[in-house]
Amino acid sequence: MNILILGGGGREHALAWAIAQNPKCDQLFCAPGNAGIAQVAECVAIDPEDGDAVVAFCADESISFVVVGPEAPLALGVADTLRSAGILTFGPSREAAQLEASKAFTKEICDACGADTAAYGHFTDAEAAKDYTRQQGAPIVIKADGLAAGKGVVVAMDMETALAAIDDMFGGTFGVAGAEVVIEEFMEGEEASFFVLSDGVNVLPMGTAQDHKRAFDGDKGPNTGGMGAYSPAPVMTKEITQKALNETIIPTIKEMAKRGTPFQGVLYAGFMIKDGRPRLVEYNVRFGDPECQALMIRLGAQVLDVLLDCAEGNLADARVNWADDHALSIVYAAVGYPGAYEKSTEIAGLDGLSSGSSLHVFHAGTAAKDGKTLATGGRVLAITARGNNLKQAQDSAYKAIEKIDWPEGFYRKDIGWRAL
């Protein structure tokens, strides 16, 4: 079958790399893709947020399966447009994507299904939000309701920061995303992510991971989209994983189905774990980046089978074959990221790197020009390795990244520290 992946980051490169290995995949396309993805798929200049353009491309190229990578097209209803056109699609509907696109919606679902999460208030007005915040006291968490590219959350350790964040959000710092604000109880513990496929009824766990959100070593510096990740997450023990599944994920899936808006795709749940209790921090409706890179190198070609089962409503009998392995992914970012950074700098040393099922350099923000690889984004590469244990995966990823020559880039030297 011919397959199209929407997106052009490291997550989509990892998906493309895994899917291309499956014999069911004939031609693989990616819109818009990047220089790394171009090695395994044909990149096409289509806007993934333009549903009609995507449908037209699918008709032209006889595409029978579309995998939607990022949240933005999902929140806009691109998966609905594709399914209405009769195209098998992996990814939730616009309504089900509210689980990521609206924090207030997720809290309401948690209330309705009894999922364990932080207590909260939901506000459309700054004064009421401030009154509630003063009553609750700091530390407290202030969140813009809508999609804010990972920047709409302020964990306020004191009242002054909390009140300033409320003013910022209602003042328009996050545009419409901040027109409504959710204020949450501060939860302590260790964070981990859990990835679960659902066809709307059945669920299939796809693995756990932990990422490093801060830019610099020792979890210091500004928040980023993620500077590295590893899978599995040791804190997600069998018991905690089962508890998260039974008490949060499955009730959420049932509640979405009950409302007539079943969730079909990957539910990426962030949990705060303390004293054996996993409490939901947030949902995303797509794979994490760079968590996806660590998951895909572990799963390989079987990913296509389970994504197809998911989209076809056949997850009841689907299985994931797990090797007892570990993976770790290091993000190579442009100096200055997550702030301003230089573009079109040259990356050398990539050709000498072996790439295979135990080591792969996934591209996030690259372009090819005159035989050179240029950096075009903030997060540029994700060097991902697999090993029999986490230390082995870490050693192998760091050994590889040292061979890359990119003076305008930086990476953290301590990915995986918490688990080692």
Q: Which residues bind ligand GLY (CB under 6 A)?
A: 150, 211, 225-226, 284, 288-289, 291
Position of tokens 């920047």?
A: 151
Helix, strand, coil abundance in the chain, percent, nearest 5: 35, 30, 35
Q: Are 326 and 390 in contact (CB under 8 A)?
A: yes
Letters for 155-184 (x = contact with ligand AMP by CB under 6 A, - = none) are x----------------------------x
Cβ 225 to ligand GLY shortest distance, Å: 6
Best CA proximity match to 15, nearest among 225, 381, 290, 317 = 290
Residue nearest to ligand GLY (CB): 226
Q: Closer to ligand GLY at the Cβ: 205 or 270?
A: 270
Q: Is 132 in the site for ligand AMP (CB under 6 A)?
A: no
In angstroms, give the least distance from the CB of 11 to ligand GLY.
7
Residue 153 found at the interface with ligand AMP (CB under 6 A): yes
* Identified binder of ligand AMP from the candidate list 32, 234, 270, 349, rule CB under 6 A: 270
- Amino acid residing at 85: A
**Residue 270 interface partner, choices ligand GLY, ligand AMP, none, CB cut-off 5-8 Å depending on type:** ligand AMP
Judged by beta carbon, residue 7 or residue 178, the one nearer ligand GLY is 7
Specify the residue, 100 or 199, whose C-beta has the smaller distance to ligand GLY. 100
Q: Does 221 bind ligand AMP (CB under 6 A)?
A: no
User: Which is nearer to ligand GLY, 140 or 285 (by Cβ)?
Assistant: 285
Report what 288 binds from ligand AMP, ligand GLY, none; CB cut-off 5-8 Å by kind.
Answer: ligand GLY
d(CA 349, CA 247): 47
In whole angstroms, give the CA distance from residue 384 to residue 360. 5
As measured in angstroms, the least distance from the Cβ of 150 to ligand GLY is 6
**Extended strands (E) in 8-147:** 28-32, 42-43, 63-68, 89-90, 120-123, 140-144
Nearer to ligand AMP, 245 or 272 (CB): 272
Shortest Cβ 47–ligand AMP spacing (Å): 25
Residue 205 binding partner per list ligand GLY, ligand AMP, none, with a CB distance cut-off of 5 to 8 Å that depends on partner kind = none
Q: Is the alpha carbon torsion for 137, 138, 143, 144 positive or negative?
A: positive
SS3 for 284? strand
> Is the link from the previous residue into 92 a cis peptide, with omega within 30 of 0?
no
For ligand AMP, the closer CB: 170 or 268: 268
Strand partners, 273: 190, 278
What is the rounded distance in angstroms from the CA atom of residue 64 to the CA atom of residue 46? 17
In terms of CB distance, is 16 or 169 closer to ligand AMP? Answer: 169
Specify burial of residue 260 (Cβ count, 10 A radius: 0-12, 13-18, 19+): exposed
Separation of alpha carbons 290 and 227, rounded Å: 8
Binder to ligand AMP among 39, 44, 132, 186 (CB under 6 A)?
186
Q: Which residues bind ligand AMP (CB under 6 A)?
A: 118, 141, 153, 155, 184-187, 191, 270, 281-282
